[in-house]
Structure 1
Amino acid sequence: MKQHVLTTLCLLACSSLQSLHAQQIQIAGKIVDGNGNPVSGVTVNIKGSSQGTSTNERGLFTLHASPEATLSISAVGYQTQEVQVNGRKTISITLVGGEQALDEVMVVAYGTAKKSTYTGSAATVKAKDIDDVPTTSFESALSGRVAGLTVSSPSGQAGSTPSIRIRGIGSMNASNEPLYVIDGVPANSGSGGQMADYIYTSNNVMGNLNPDDIETITVLKDAAASSLYGSRAANGVILITTKKGKTGKPAVNFKSSIGFTPTWATDNYETASPQDQVNMLYQIFHDYRTSNVNKETGVNYTDAEASVYALGQLNNRFNKHGYRFEVNDPLRMSNVHILGMTDGIENREGRYYDWDKALFRTGIYQDNNLSLSGGTEATKYFSSLGYTTDKSRIRVNDFERISGRLNLTQKIVDNLEFGANINIGHNKKKGFNDTRNTGTNYFMQSRNLLWPLYWPTNYKTGEAWTDRYGSYAYNADYYDQQWDNSSKTNKLGVISNLTWTILPELTAKTVFSYDYTDMKDYLYYSAKHFNGISDGGVVHQFNTNMLKLVSSNTVNYNKSFDKHNLNLLAGFEAEKNKTDFMRTTGRGLGSAELPYISSAGKFEANAYSWGYNLMSFLGRAEYNYDNTYFLAASYRRDGSSKLGPKNRWGDFWSVSGAYSLKSLPALRENEAISTLRLKASYGVNGTLPTDNFGWRRLVSFNNFNYKGQPGGNLISNPDPDITWETSYTTNAGLEFGFLNNRITGSVEYFNRTSKNLLQDVPTSQTTGFSTVLRNVGQINNKGLEIELAGDIIKKEDFRWSANVNAAFVNSKVQKLNDHQDIIWYDPTGSVGNDTKGSGDARAQFIYREGQSTLAFYGYEWAGVDHTNGKNVYYTNNEQSGEGIFEYNGRKATYDFNQADYTIIGNGVPKVSGGINTDFAYKNFSLGFNFVYKIGGKLYDGAFKDVADDGYYWERIRSAYAFEHMWTENNTSGTLPKLDGNDLTDPQKYSSRQLHDATFLRLKNINFGYRLPKTFLHTIGFSSARVYFNGTNLWTASKYKIADPEVGQYSTRGWETPIGKTYTFGIELGF
């Protein structure tokens, strides 16, 4: 009986299922945009159920639904639509853009927002804008993409760290870098590791982030946008969102590219020919001799005597390299004959050594990425694996990265979702000193100072030269074999989150992040290397471990009733940071074959730890009425262990609002105006001190003892009252759109005053210190940002769009301690104890109230006296008498000692920005990315060397200097004559080394072709594209000597020049 009942029930169940299935139909659909192009990744849900799918690369989807069902169609950047099935088995749907440009959903602080309702200042860069740029770090790809954001790439080294500034300079001693937030969690950034203390190369902490994993980058610029990040947001915030899975079938994407940077593909100092170099050197020695008195005759040396002396100096320096010299006549401007020595194993006459060929190579960049994504309504996933290598143009510089990522979201129940974002990375960099400092950056300095008459081997024996060539240049061909270095970084990042939808309008989210970075640095000098001779060989090993733990808990309420829309956010966040350092050194290595500490005869070790904690409460309220009136306010209270108990807590906040002028009766029916909106904000953000213990006294017990007992010494002079640097920012703007938003843009005014800036203040030396760090400075940055974008042509087969942005920034010092000037130097170089600048810093600056934050300070060079070829300086003082004369209507002198330092230029450009334009014809695409700067100066410290007037004879190699110097035959020369007597002028800071920094550069050009869908179906691919990208291929600049794109301090020195790269790639979808 039981068996009959069970059988009957089974038959009834099957019958019900068959009946249900019979009531559903299979629907096949295609979704396209307004131009008829298929759109992938569009979510298609059956309204009222959890069933759904998404479109593939061809915009196609299939699903089973009731004939009376309603389909909900949603995609980022388009309006959500509902489509009735009405029994149809095939459906074509065209997405509606509406106010697409301004209704775009973007990632903002602790959530997302529609651009059309957002009251802050923010800009978004999408993956498609940076996908094909060959770079090891995503920062470089942002150049010219966002108004007010500048990217400085001071080095062409592989794996170097670009510098980003948002709306000017906000601090004197603390960081000017923005805060980076990855998938909602603040991240470590900047340079790391300990190698910088030895060879001035370091790891880019963000270098483990694979640019191909990035979905969007949002730049938060004003207080309304960034104040929820409080004490770290004064310099702006960069939000990075990585790719996630979408509903649909599994999709596999493979992308591979290879790029080449030829040895010649760079804008660097062009060297004079060997003949011209020797002639210049002969002139210096000849001039020196004729300018001095012959003690035997009592009169100046004759031309004949000077010629003998000059030839003797040349032979003294170059005989050992296989050359000898003669002249036909003894005059200063004689042409020197370069002959070969015949007493060795080779005759080098007419042959010169190509150092560029020996030290450089064709750089090869390779990037390979594989990803798998897909999902259902319950589970979505994205996983990727990347491998990148960059063998730069410099033979001693390589970069390698391996990265992996898994983004997973899982619905546990209908109202509870779990997410996990796991990132692993490993990179390895081999580099060298890349500062602007002469005397330590031996590689690039030697490259610029190694004469072609210098050979790496002795012409008599063929053995390698190990001595210096002149004062600074080394045999890089030999010494590159006598050392080794590497910097390895391993990273593990885990972000887990749990989102609970308590009510349709109320959600709670908890996030926990674990971010661990392990950096290992290795540096070895053999006993034959000039840095290892005294130690008999030395090896250093460094280990740096960085741990960041973040716990964030937020509650969000989002409710609409009638025409009122309200969003409320409240949260609590805690962050713990810890860094462990360890250094071990071994000296006196037993063998060059064993470059390890274990083989050393003497050991040293040092280790220490530090860290800081941050605790925060935050909240935000947003309200809009009828999408016409918008109000928002945010607040964050931070407590930091970097500050003393009295100032540990700080309050940061903002208020903002907007009004849609389109709602005015006069504009409501105007079809030409699609969008017109005013917005304004005011708020307070902060900057934490870089020192973790600036408020408390620290003692070091390193190698100090008293009567055999261990002891310590003070290493800090604390200020218990030290507090936050605080920025007060006003922002006002107008957003507009015309012709159904075919043309969009914005104009924004900003004014940021940074107060309580940290400054070294003189103090009584009875404390054991000469200065103490206190909050006394003030800087102001104000300006205007303009953005204009348009879809110029929108046809089925041809499209043309363009975007132009510009930022006008005025950055000035407003307040200093006791109104006293501060002279400072480019921190990427060094300086001696002499504050007049006898050290090797690349530039000298001054902080002075009312002046630019990048004010160059030095002698004002008036040019060349065309009657005698001498340097002329304006005195800039009331001094008169011997040596003072009038020049161009002003007091001037040949002797800089009679002149005073003054402000000679400003490193901040008047305007900077980008021009971006894209074309598409059928399956072809072409894009241009330009960056530009107008105004401002750059200081070229290296040209000061290669165009030396005679002070350092071995540095004079510039073709530009040879062509433009004053001579008796070229009295219109713009550079002074070579002088063997007055040997100090070029080594002083002066406006002679300042150049116009204006330039326009084609940063990237991209050409691609997407293979036809009909062909791809036959070979089993869903998509395929081939492309070419050119980087830095063309530059227009008044400054012709070298690359006008310089670092954040607008200075140039011995750093590695940026190269031109030609990249070819392919992208396949399965």
Structure 2
Amino acid sequence: MKKLFYPLKKLIVPCMLVGSCQIAFGQDLAYVGKSADDAFKKSPFSTNAGANSSGSSKAVQNNTVTGRVLDENGDGMPGVTVLVKGTSNGVTTNSEGRYSISAPPGGTLVVSFIGYQRQEVPINNRSTVNINLALDAQVLDEVVVTGYTTEKKRDIIGSVSVVKPTELLQTPAANLQSQLQGRAAGVTVSGNGQPGATAKVRIRGFASFGNNDPLYVIDGVPTENPSALNPQDVESVQVLKDATSASIYGSRAANGVVIVTTKRGKAGTSSISVDSYTGVQVIPKSSMPKMISTEQYGQYLWTAARNGGTPFGVADDEGNVRGSRIYGNGLSPVVPGYLIVSPGFSGGVPAGDPRANPNLYNIGPGGFYQIIQTSPGTNWFDEITRAAVIQSHQISASGGSEKGTYSLGVNYFNQEGTIIHTGYDRASVRANTTFNPVNRVRVGENLQVTYETRQGGGEAGEGGAWAQAYRMMPYLPVYDINGGFAGNGVGESGNGSSPVANLYRGKDNQNNGFKIFGNAFAEVDILDGLTARSSFGIDYNNNYNNNYVAITYERSENQTEDSFTENYGYLNTWTWTNTLNYNKTLGENHNIKVLAGVEAVKSTGRGITGRNTNYDFGVDPEFRSIQTGTGTITASTYNLGRSSLYSLFGRIDYGFRDKYLFNATVRRDASSKFGPEARVGVFPAVGAAWRISDEAFMQGLSFLSELKIRGGWGQMGSQRNLDANNQFSTFFSQPGASWYPINGQNNSATVGYRQQRLGNTSTKWETTETTNLGIDASFFNGRFNVTLEGYNVVTKDLLMEQVRNGLMPDITMPRINIGEMRNRGFDLTLGTTGNFASDFRYDASLNFTHYTNELTRMAESGAIIYRSTNSNRLNNIIAIQEGYPISSFYGYQIDGIYQNQAEVDAGPITDNKWVGSWRIKDINNDGRIDDNDRAVIGNPIPKFQMGSNLSLAYKNFDISTFLFWNYGNDLYNFTKWYTDLRGFVGGVSTRVLENSWSETNRGGTLPIISNADNYSSTISTDYYVEKGSYLRMRTLQLGYTLPTAVANKIHLNNLRVYLQGQNLFTVTNYTGADPDISIVGDNNSTADDQFMGVDQANYPNSRQFIFGINFGF
């Protein structure tokens, strides 16, 4: 076996760590110390804390112990750390593997070296102690799961990131996706704080216009939604990022592949472990918007009226005095004591006014008279948030023998929402077993059963609680004088609805999911090196949800009829995979691995929805069903889509002298989603690597442990953005959509059919072509590791729904192939691990991601596809066009404020300019402002993202921290539309008072406060665009592990407790609630990447404080 590690120059970095060293050479001895005279006395890590150089007479006298550390071939090993146990006194061996150290006669030497098993050697009064280290096969032959097989980590040619489960568990979360943020180079993750929310994951940019979620493969079974997986069941995670590694999955791999292996039992051992944590979550005060008070709101109204030319408190030409129903009609606003809502009068009255007599209060069928005590300024964001509990409790058992192994895990996870009346519960069971009934045969199963419940609303978007809080007036309290909900029925208070009332009324609404996921498999070793495997997997999802809409009384636009909706659906996908694996070593130089397989996948699903109204027992959820309403039941069924995929695939790996590596992959997919002429796609890939460090001319570089360069090219496909019925033109019959005969007899409808969808049989696969170049390097005997990769990803034949012109009927248009998109970037991963002393260990890693995205071609050159908010409050804020990134922000550029009439007269022609208004930039210099002056005003894609992990352990204490840095992206802060520009009657941000232009604030960036301004809130401008960079401490954990001897006394194998904080601080200039929305779209529950980085009142991420305990027996 070739010697893996080399002698001398690795000592340079330890010298750098301590700051000042001298290196002495002589008689083949390399030594590092404070001076050359210190040879064989001190190491660069030593403080001699355990030595007796100047100790008391009672101290034990140290002796000099010398010796040699040898490898498995009997050769001396340089750079090995030799420490006296329990002290920081240590040395490193010289070029011949020799060492000399001062140690007590009864002490113990701790000997460690990366790639070898750590040893503790008693001195036993000896002056010479020679030590033989054994190779750590687990480190040198570490294998990772890739496509349908495993590979040695050091032999990987493609781009594969390995994520440590211990790092993932440092982020308490409901699902794996949320834990991946910052853990792997090239992987971008964004999410929100909604309980149980699934974060968005993107690998190396965007391969399509629609769903860019990666494929997840859990224990060999593919799935598009792993959110029900319990993170504590995970044993290993690999991310396949290029075609060389992922094209074996063909048409489902264009967005990357995340391979997850769950925990397995080990033969010869049996154990039971408990992992439990409980904590509290809060939304940081820094996430709370700053809104003006009741008194300030009155001044705001008077200022707007005065600047708009219709001042309050002043009679007009007809003698009418304008004012406010709430604040009166004086020359200045008066904050009322009470607010009255009734058919005869609605408005503010002073305290003591007879109209505020509590005896008049009446809310019922016989009349309506609501009395509300005016609030000095309700903080609606405080009212809808709370300190919420998060907890997870896991019991696991594993073990086995030569005849079989087992692993069983039971978990309960609960996350209360930091927004009131919301929450998430999940109970899951996982069982993995493997049996060896006869020689050369293995059978087993991997099974997961999950039941989850989501409670209440609180979702993102205009209908969510956070958005509604923006729209509530400061003078409205939560409750009226009798404890009923207060609202905006008082008039002049907008049409928003109380988020507290909405959340309370929706607290019994639930979304329940039941999932069975897993596979059964059999493996047979046909010949030495030839293994056949058959696996049948199932991904069954059953979903039930209900939604009750209550009658309301306090709003300006009330709900006059209650309703109850129930929805039930299922989706089942089965996967049958059969493979042959052949692994053969020919002589000493040639290694060949061959994989061949066939796979069939089929998905079916159906659903039914029912609705009824008029519930006499509407307040009690136990009485609600479709049958208990007294209205008319309406119901409909729907098809979740039936599709199938049939695939043939193969791969060959060849290695020559473990130095020259090559692989080739091909997969043929046939999908039912495409028409007959485009049904089949073939996706090839090739890759090669050269381990340069094994060449003879590299042997003199002793600091270099390993250096490998690699490259690959390949193609992958995508059908994910295609409806199963895209190729078909469909028709439907509905009386409400029927036609009346044009013959004078129009008293009855003629029932017929009309077109619902236009089909397209010519639609073909999206094809993603990747080129990847990488370098893997390991220095100083594996203490420092570097991986650098550059890539170019081009997606051709992009799928997008055909745009319907004004002459076409209102039908669903098919997806067609319209263009080409490119992602280009690089990934960098750095890592170091080792010991500062026998009891002081460290592990640090850093990953860095940079990429750019560009739509390089569209079918119609120069075409622009616009996207607007779901609420249509602002139109065309996103533009998709050639030469720009996907989801580019679009609108007008603001070029300052018109300071005087002369500037107004000299400005470009437009009907929307006045002193104090925005000056819109004339982009094309034609002297007028129109649609042609709109341009790209922002890019949601970060310039880079970086994750940094540091773990330190001293004796039984450990501390770890994880920082995440997102830099260089823009965010579209749509929440300003609610609060800054009078687009809606509702709450007002303090920015308006501080930054609006006036004669005394000519440096203001907002237009003059004026009720005549009906323009500023109707256009998309770069005022909404902000820098989205942020630095966040994702986790900080402090733990303590009970000494084994002490744990054994209480009949435990191990015991660890820890305290943890999550999202402890965020450094950002973004003014919205949370900047972690770079790839979060218009609705976080969808995966539409045409609308990213737009903040429509996202549910903020919480700050968490957690206590946890792990023990085993």
Q: For this structure pair, what is the TM-score category when the shorter chain's length is used for normalisation?
A: 0.7 to 0.9
Q: Taking structure 1 as reference, are residues 923 and 701 closer, same or farther at Cα in structure 2, changes over 3 Å only?
A: farther
2:605 is matched with which residue?
Answer: 579
- What is the distance in 1 between the residues matched to 2:816 and 2:207? 16
Secondary structure in structure 2 of the residue aligned to 1:973: coil
1:526 aligns with 2:558: no
Q: Taking structure 1 as reference, are residues 866 and 1064 closer, same or farther at Cα in structure 2, changes over 3 Å only?
A: farther
2:949 is matched with which residue?
Answer: 916
Q: Is the 8 A contact 1:266 1:1057 kept in 2?
A: no
1:971 is matched with which residue?
Answer: 1002
**TM-superposed deviation, 1:473:** 2.2
**TM-superposed deviation, 1:1052:** 0.8
1:157 is matched with which residue?
Answer: 194
**TM-superposed deviation, 1:967:** 3.8
1:142 aligns with 2:180: yes
User: Counterpart of 1:1056 in structure 2: which amino acid?
Assistant: Y
1:179 is matched with which residue?
Answer: 215
**TM-superposed deviation, 1:462:** 5.7
1:627 equivalent among 658, 664, 676 = 658
Map 1:581-980; keep pairs closer than 5 Å: 581-592=607-618, 593=620, 594-600=623-629, 601-609=631-639, 610-688=641-719, 689-703=721-735, 711-762=752-803, 765=807, 769=811, 772-791=814-833, 793-825=835-867, 829-832=869-872, 839-840=873-874, 844-865=877-898, 900-948=933-981, 950-956=982-988, 958-980=989-1011
**TM-superposed deviation, 1:1045:** 1.3
1:513 equivalent among 537, 546, 557 = 537
Segment of structure 1 superposing worse, 1013-1022 or 347-356: 347-356
**TM-superposed deviation, 1:857:** 0.7
2:420 is matched with which residue?
Answer: 395
- What is the distance in 1 between the residues matched to 2:836 and 2:795? 45
**TM-superposed deviation, 1:882:** 13
**TM-superposed deviation, 1:685:** 0.2
Q: Taking structure 1 as reference, are residues 289 and 340 closer, same or farther at Cα in structure 2, changes over 3 Å only?
A: farther
Secondary structure in structure 1 of the residue aligned to 2:637: strand
- What is the distance in 2 between the residues matched to 1:362 and 1:620? 53
The one-character-per-residue Cα deviations of 1:909-962 (angstroms, maximum 9, x if unpaired) are 1111211111111111111111112212110001232222x3434231x23443
- What is the distance in 1 between the residues matched to 2:421 and 2:595? 52
Q: Is the 8 A contact 1:543 1:583 kept in 2?
A: yes
Q: Taking structure 1 as reference, are residues 896 and 426 closer, same or farther at Cα in structure 2, changes over 3 Å only?
A: farther
Q: Taking structure 1 as reference, are residues 259 and 308 closer, same or farther at Cα in structure 2, changes over 3 Å only?
A: closer
The one-character-per-residue Cα deviations of 1:464-519 (angstroms, maximum 9, x if unpaired) are 44654722322333344434410000111231110101122111100011221100
- What is the distance in 2 between the residues matched to 1:1038 and 1:263? 18
- What is the distance in 2 between the residues matched to 1:991 and 1:450? 26
Q: Could you list the runs of 5+ residues in structure 2 that have no partner in the other structure?
A: 1-79, 86-113, 120-129, 343-347, 359-370, 740-747, 1080-1091
2:147 is matched with which residue?
Answer: 109
Q: Taking structure 1 as reference, are residues 466 and 959 closer, same or farther at Cα in structure 2, changes over 3 Å only?
A: closer
- What is the distance in 2 between the residues matched to 1:961 and 1:95? 70
Q: Taking structure 1 as reference, are residues 351 and 810 closer, same or farther at Cα in structure 2, changes over 3 Å only?
A: closer
Secondary structure in structure 1 of the residue aligned to 2:594: strand
Q: Taking structure 1 as reference, are residues 450 and 35 closer, same or farther at Cα in structure 2, changes over 3 Å only?
A: farther
- What is the distance in 2 between the residues matched to 1:852 and 1:898? 21
- What is the distance in 2 between the residues matched to 1:388 and 1:662? 48
Segment of structure 1 superposing worse, 801-810 or 449-458: 449-458
Q: Taking structure 1 as reference, are residues 1024 and 873 closer, same or farther at Cα in structure 2, changes over 3 Å only?
A: farther
Q: Taking structure 1 as reference, are residues 824 and 875 closer, same or farther at Cα in structure 2, changes over 3 Å only?
A: farther
User: Counterpart of 1:798 in structure 2: which amino acid?
Assistant: F
Q: Taking structure 1 as reference, are residues 413 and 224 closer, same or farther at Cα in structure 2, changes over 3 Å only?
A: same
**TM-superposed deviation, 1:794:** 4.2
- What is the distance in 1 between the residues matched to 2:662 and 2:84? 38
The one-character-per-residue Cα deviations of 1:313-343 (angstroms, maximum 9, x if unpaired) are 8779974399xxxxxxxxxxxxxx9975654
1:1055 is matched with which residue?
Answer: 1098
2:475 equivalent among 453, 461, 470 = 453
- What is the distance in 1 between the residues matched to 2:1054 and 2:902? 66
Segment of structure 1 superposing worse, 786-795 or 775-784: 786-795
**TM-superposed deviation, 1:734:** 1.1
**TM-superposed deviation, 1:354:** 4.9
**TM-superposed deviation, 1:360:** 2.0
Secondary structure in structure 1 of the residue aligned to 2:1064: strand
**TM-superposed deviation, 1:1050:** 1.2
Q: Taking structure 1 as reference, are residues 119 and 406 closer, same or farther at Cα in structure 2, changes over 3 Å only?
A: same
Q: Is the 8 A contact 2:299 2:333 kept in 1?
A: no
**TM-superposed deviation, 1:891:** 8.8
**TM-superposed deviation, 1:92:** 11
Secondary structure in structure 1 of the residue aligned to 2:340: helix
Q: How many residues align?
A: 943
1:167 aligns with 2:204: yes
1:499 equivalent among 504, 514, 523 = 523
C-alpha RMSD of matched pairs (Å): 3.9
**TM-superposed deviation, 1:863:** 3.5
Q: Taking structure 1 as reference, are residues 868 and 510 closer, same or farther at Cα in structure 2, changes over 3 Å only?
A: farther
User: Counterpart of 1:1000 in structure 2: which amino acid?
Assistant: L
Secondary structure in structure 1 of the residue aligned to 2:537: strand
Segment of structure 1 superposing worse, 700-709 or 912-921: 700-709
- What is the distance in 1 between the residues matched to 2:1004 and 2:215? 49
- What is the distance in 2 between the residues matched to 1:471 and 1:889? 35
Q: Could you list the runs of 5+ residues in structure 1 that have no partner in the other structure?
A: 1-32, 39-76, 83-90, 190-205, 323-336, 833-838
1:570 is matched with which residue?
Answer: 596
**TM-superposed deviation, 1:728:** 0.8
Secondary structure in structure 2 of the residue aligned to 1:169: coil
1:333 is matched with which residue?
Answer: none
User: Counterpart of 2:277 in structure 1: which amino acid?
Assistant: S
Secondary structure in structure 2 of the residue aligned to 1:943: helix
1:96 equivalent among 135, 157, 178 = 135
Secondary structure in structure 1 of the residue aligned to 2:674: coil
User: Counterpart of 1:751 in structure 2: which amino acid?
Assistant: N
The one-character-per-residue Cα deviations of 1:408-461 (angstroms, maximum 9, x if unpaired) are 00101120001111111100001326243x3x33x22222232331023444x6
- What is the distance in 2 between the residues matched to 1:893 and 1:366? 62
Normalised to the residue count of structure 2, the TM-score between the two structures is 0.78
- What is the distance in 1 between the residues matched to 2:145 and 2:1044? 33
Map 1:298-447; keep pairs closer than 5 Å: 309=329, 319-320=339-340, 340=351, 343=354, 344=356, 345=358, 352-432=377-457, 434-436=459-461, 438=462, 440-441=463-464, 443-447=465-469
- What is the distance in 1 between the residues matched to 2:352 and 2:312? 31
Segment of structure 1 superposing worse, 253-262 or 470-479: 470-479
The one-character-per-residue Cα deviations of 1:187-222 (angstroms, maximum 9, x if unpaired) are 131xxxxxxxxxxxxxxxx33211100111110000
**TM-superposed deviation, 1:397:** 0.9
User: Counterpart of 1:449 in structure 2: which amino acid?
Assistant: R
Q: Taking structure 1 as reference, are residues 531 and 873 closer, same or farther at Cα in structure 2, changes over 3 Å only?
A: farther
Secondary structure in structure 2 of the residue aligned to 1:599: coil
The one-character-per-residue Cα deviations of 1:522-551 (angstroms, maximum 9, x if unpaired) are 111133478997673211110110111110
Secondary structure in structure 2 of the residue aligned to 1:252: strand
- What is the distance in 2 between the residues matched to 1:279 and 1:398? 40
- What is the distance in 1 between the residues matched to 2:902 and 2:1107? 51
- What is the distance in 1 between the residues matched to 2:138 and 2:572? 44
User: Counterpart of 1:1029 in structure 2: which amino acid?
Assistant: Q
2:1083 is matched with which residue?
Answer: none
Segment of structure 1 superposing worse, 586-595 or 993-1002: 586-595
Q: Is the 8 A contact 1:873 1:896 kept in 2?
A: no
Normalised to the residue count of structure 1, the TM-score between the two structures is 0.81
Q: Taking structure 1 as reference, are residues 298 and 210 closer, same or farther at Cα in structure 2, changes over 3 Å only?
A: same
Q: Is the 8 A contact 2:419 2:458 kept in 1?
A: no
1:124 is matched with which residue?
Answer: 162
Q: Is the 8 A contact 1:616 1:638 kept in 2?
A: yes
Q: Is the 8 A contact 1:263 1:363 kept in 2?
A: no
Secondary structure in structure 2 of the residue aligned to 1:620: strand
Percent of pairs identical after alignment?
A: 25
Secondary structure in structure 2 of the residue aligned to 1:478: helix
2:27 is matched with which residue?
Answer: none
**TM-superposed deviation, 1:969:** 3.7
